[in-house]
Structure 1
Amino acid sequence: MPDTTFPVFTPFPQQRERLKLGLVGGGIGSFIGEIHATGARLSDRWELVAGAMSSDPERSLASGRAWRLAEDRIYTNHEAMAEAEAARPDGIDAVVIATPNHTHVPIARSFMRRGIHVICDKPLCNSLAEADGLADLQRQTGVIFAVSYCYASHAMARQIREMIAAGELGRICQVHVEYFQDWALALEEAGGSAKPWRLDPAHGGQSFTTADIGTHACHLASFATGLKLEALSASFHTVGSPKPMEDTAFIQLRFEGDVPGTLMTSQAAAGTHCDLRIRIFGEKALLEWRQEQPEILWFAKPGAPKIMLTRGDQGCGEAVHRLKRLRAGFPEGLNDAWSNLYTEIAVAIDARKRGEPDRPDLVAFPDLEDGLAGVRFVEAAVRSNAAGGEWTAV
């Protein structure tokens, strides 16, 4: 276990002024747009100043006004927004892409070409060819590209990462991760003709649940352990109402070093909400964490009682104390994780603006390489399932 002395840590650098943020998608009634904006505001490092919230002019204008944007910074398409904001002396520093998967690439390219940093929803896009194209463009432009795998920004997810890196578990022996929801259990009956775009392959790609929340689980497993996923064997199922794609997947994993694991995901698991859970077994001990109880991390050694670590404990590591916003006993949750994500992205962009070197020792937000890994994971799972569960390289 970590010692109980309060650690000495380096706080995040102060900014001279808030960075300027733009939003594409995420208009009125959008959960994802709201949570992005809330995280940015809670970080106190961003000001939302521009947006193209909808391709429908009237809806875009109404959404922009609801977000209290200036009339001349409410746009009806992303290309016009990218061009206008790049030309302004007070133009946006970064853009959030909160739109359906199939639009991520053209939107990202418009802003990247103009030197505007990108914060993109996951999954990054629908094909590896598109993802590789974005990676090529990032190398050319040098922009910062973040992907919103938000759960890795929970303070106790960082505690897992620190403890494993410090050897608290010894050699990693197995990794098990799962993510269960129930909102798609009776989707056709509840949604009728208004079923979500994720069920349309032209918009959401070849996978429904694996791409939507399975990518979160996959990212968390690699982020926490530091292990790269090398191969998988996938079995897709539709256990809820009839759908054109899977609502459930059971996937065997093989990480580097021949470490075995499992990933189970379902959006048709009755009685669940956002039940993301990870268990990592090492030769010395276990670590277990659930997103719905994000303040608590369980640590256990063979033959000994489980020990409960909570966010804010003095036994927690540097990364936890850097991210915590409240003292122990005052609960933090998902909005705080999003705020942590936006804080770290802001630190990286502000350093660029100052001409200072990057700080990988200080920030660990998911980047374009994490987005690429998610696309590789989905494509491998789709291929494996089509081949009857054949082991497939990622």
Structure 2
Amino acid sequence: MSRILPASLDFDGPFPRQSRRLRLGVVGGGRISVTQATAARLTDRWEVVAGALSSDPVKARQRAEEWFIQPDRSYATFNEMASVEAGRPDGVDAVMITTPNHVHFDAAKAFLDKGIDVLCDKPLTNDPGEADELVSIARETGLVFAVGYTMSCFPMIRQAREIVKQGGIGRINQIHVEFLQDWMTPEAVAEADHVKWRLDPAKSGRTSCTGDIGTHAAHLASFVSGLEMTHLRAEMHVCGAPKPLEDTVFMFTRFENDVPGTLMATRLAPGNRGGLRLRVFGSEGGLEWDLEKSEQLKFNRFGEPDRIISRGHGHGVSAKTERFVRAARGFPEGIIEAWANLYTEFAMAVAARRDGVTPPQHWLNYPTVTQGAKGVHFVEASANSAETESSWQKI
């Protein structure tokens, strides 16, 4: 088998070219799968060649045609897909899983058991025990397992993480994060097909808003700060029309070194579409980032004028961050490019594994299955807290 990456690698420079595109399979054919496939293609490192795109065989075939997937590589089930693709000489190098939450564990395990690398949407599973099992399988097999915390893949978030690691804001003393959306404001929205499963405990698990967007907020706080969230106390609310699961959550949080913080998430904040905001404050300065202004990072050193670092080449952006920059300063990038950054790092990890290369730890920072499992334990602790009069819970 020929190498995918060059024989000589510069782990501090731009990501290297590949000798071929990696072959990607898709499980789940909903809206997010289209977004992710678009992003994967944008990298020019992946081609979508196979899929189990619906639990309905007729819809699966129709969607395969729309995706230009050959009929013999359109599968009725993910189990069939895993088995057949593992036996093909041109089988998929990896698979992305974009199904509703309750399918994640079985689908991921089916491909891991066949030796196929996985990128799974979040939350990783609805059950902490299943999440821990996936971590164990990935560790024992050495397979690559990424999780779709794509908010950590914006260039300015990578820049923020680097500033923190270099001591740019001193000792962290508080962390605040919020994710405010408004798409669930209309009372009839719960009847939409793409919403029903998100409010069904059998599919979404014990939470809805918390497991969907609250986990993004929690992961981002830890990713940038470098501190694990250790404890929380949560209040869950249904602020709009009656629903079986919450549409809003408020939390007090604790991180390593007893650093306090707050977390809020809701889908009923009119005027907020992508209202993900992160603030990390330290003994010497602070960082602030807003998803709706994702091109900019506010960086303050106490007593000095505020700095606004812009996504682009130079002017405060590090060489490591520039690896994720596609367009020149002033020409905006967005969520598709962030997904593409995730799929670029995933490609590097998959190619390195297949080439037998062990890269240094600093090379790739894609969200791993371990971080995915931590997200599941975060959701579990949140639900436990909300159900016990907002008691403090250890994660």
TM-score (norm 2): 0.95
CA distance in 2 between counterparts of 1:384 and 1:191 reads 25
Deviations 1:110-157 (A, max 9, x none): 100010000000000001011111122223322110000001000000
Residue in 1 that maps onto 2:94: 94
CA distance in 2 between counterparts of 1:223 and 1:134 reads 21
Note the C-alpha offset of 1:303.
Answer: 4.1
Residue in 2 that maps onto 1:348: 349
Letter in 2 for 1:365: Y
Deviations 1:12-71 (A, max 9, x none): 122110000000002xxx320111101100111001000000011110000000000111
Note the C-alpha offset of 1:271.
Answer: 1.6
TM-score (norm 1): 0.95
Note the C-alpha offset of 1:82.
Answer: 0.5
The answer on whether the counterparts of 1:250 and 1:264 sit within 8 Å (CA) in structure 2 is yes
CA distance in 1 between counterparts of 2:280 and 2:299 reads 10
Superposed counterparts of 1:31-70, under 5 Å: 31-70=31-70
Look up the SS of the partner of 2:85 in the other structure: helix
CA distance in 2 between counterparts of 1:327 and 1:389 reads 47
The answer on whether the counterparts of 2:49 and 2:70 sit within 8 Å (CA) in structure 1 is yes
Pick which of 355-364 and 382-391 moved more: 355-364
Look up the SS of the partner of 1:298 in the other structure: strand
Letter in 1 for 2:147: V
Deviations 1:148-194 (A, max 9, x none): 0001000000000000000000000100000011111234x234374
CA distance in 2 between counterparts of 1:358 and 1:162 reads 19
Pick which of 161-170 and 311-320 moved more: 311-320
Deviations 1:51-105 (A, max 9, x none): 0000111100000000001111011100110011000000001011000101001
Letter in 2 for 1:98: T
Residue in 2 that maps onto 1:386: 387
Superposed counterparts of 1:124-135, under 5 Å: 124-135=124-135
Residue in 2 that maps onto 1:16: 19
Q: Does residue 156 of the first structure (1) align with residue 195 of the second (2)?
A: no
Letter in 1 for 2:227: L
CA distance in 1 between counterparts of 2:169 and 2:303 reads 15
Look up the SS of the partner of 2:76 in the other structure: coil
The answer on whether the counterparts of 2:143 and 2:353 sit within 8 Å (CA) in structure 1 is no
Letter in 1 for 2:381: A
Note the C-alpha offset of 1:359.
Answer: 3.7
Letter in 1 for 2:180: F
The answer on whether the counterparts of 1:298 and 1:306 sit within 8 Å (CA) in structure 2 is yes
Task: List gaps (5 residues or longer) in structure 2.
Answer: 1-10
CA distance in 1 between counterparts of 2:219 and 2:138 reads 21
Look up the SS of the partner of 1:173 in the other structure: strand
Percent of aligned pairs with the same residue?
46
Residue in 1 that maps onto 2:372: 371
The answer on whether the counterparts of 1:39 and 1:342 sit within 8 Å (CA) in structure 2 is yes
Residue in 2 that maps onto 1:3: none
CA distance in 2 between counterparts of 1:200 and 1:35 reads 24
Note the C-alpha offset of 1:9.
Answer: 4.7
Note the C-alpha offset of 1:281.
Answer: 0.6
Q: Does residue 201 of the first structure (1) align with residue 204 of the second (2)?
A: no
Task: List gaps (5 residues or longer) in structure 1.
Answer: 1-7
Q: Does residue 333 of the first structure (1) align with residue 325 of the second (2)?
A: no
Q: Does residue 190 of the first structure (1) align with residue 189 of the second (2)?
A: yes
The answer on whether the counterparts of 1:86 and 1:116 sit within 8 Å (CA) in structure 2 is yes
CA distance in 2 between counterparts of 1:183 and 1:336 reads 23
CA distance in 2 between counterparts of 1:141 and 1:112 reads 8
* Cα pair distance change 1:9/1:135, threshold 3 Å: closer
Look up the SS of the partner of 1:196 in the other structure: helix
Letter in 2 for 1:11: P
The answer on whether the counterparts of 1:156 and 1:311 sit within 8 Å (CA) in structure 2 is yes
Residue in 2 that maps onto 1:300: 300
The answer on whether the counterparts of 2:285 and 2:301 sit within 8 Å (CA) in structure 1 is yes
Q: Does residue 260 of the first structure (1) align with residue 260 of the second (2)?
A: yes
Pick which of 296-305 and 320-329 moved more: 296-305
CA distance in 2 between counterparts of 1:136 and 1:371 reads 13
Letter in 2 for 1:21: L
Look up the SS of the partner of 1:292 in the other structure: helix
Look up the SS of the partner of 2:90 in the other structure: coil
CA distance in 2 between counterparts of 1:158 and 1:19 reads 25
The answer on whether the counterparts of 2:128 and 2:376 sit within 8 Å (CA) in structure 1 is yes
Look up the SS of the partner of 2:68 in the other structure: coil
Deviations 1:270-312 (A, max 9, x none): 1211110001111111110011111100112334432211012
